[in-house]
Amino acid sequence: MTLREIIKTLDCRVVAGNADLDAKVKTGCGCDLMSDVLAFIKPGAMLLTGLNNPQVVRTAEMAEIKIVCFVRGKEPGQELITLARESGITLLTTSLPLFEACGKLYMNGLNGLSSYNE
């Protein structure tokens, strides 16, 4: 899926970042436990999370994640927005709960980690 398709599918708002809307997103991961993100996520994935603190952006940096989507209407504060901009990470927000957001992306063609191909 492209970032543009993801934004449309989840009715997202872009909070930070100037990402290429036609950039391909390889896979998605829905998780609030950042240690699991570091253990299992693949480069090129997007992260969907309800966790709203600087650890999310720091984890995204380490895991080579360029897109983070906050679910349940979570709004990142200015500190997160600044960190994301400095790191080249796009932040999105959607009102959907995590389960529904992941399900919609999967139903519309975004692969999960189990079917990830580099």
Query: What pLDDT sits at residue 79?
Result: 93
CATH architecture group of domain 3-111? 3-Layer(aba) Sandwich (3.40)
CA distance 24 to 35: 25
Q: Give the pLDDT of the chain (118 residues) as one tens digit per residue.
A: 999 999 999 999 999 987 789 989 989 999 999 999 999 888 888 999 999 999 999 999 999 999 999 999 999 999 999 999 999 999 999 999 999 999 999 999 998 877 655 5
Model pTM score: 0.93
Asked if residues 68 and 81 have their Cβ atoms less than 8 Å apart, the reply is no
Structure tokens, 86: 């400095």
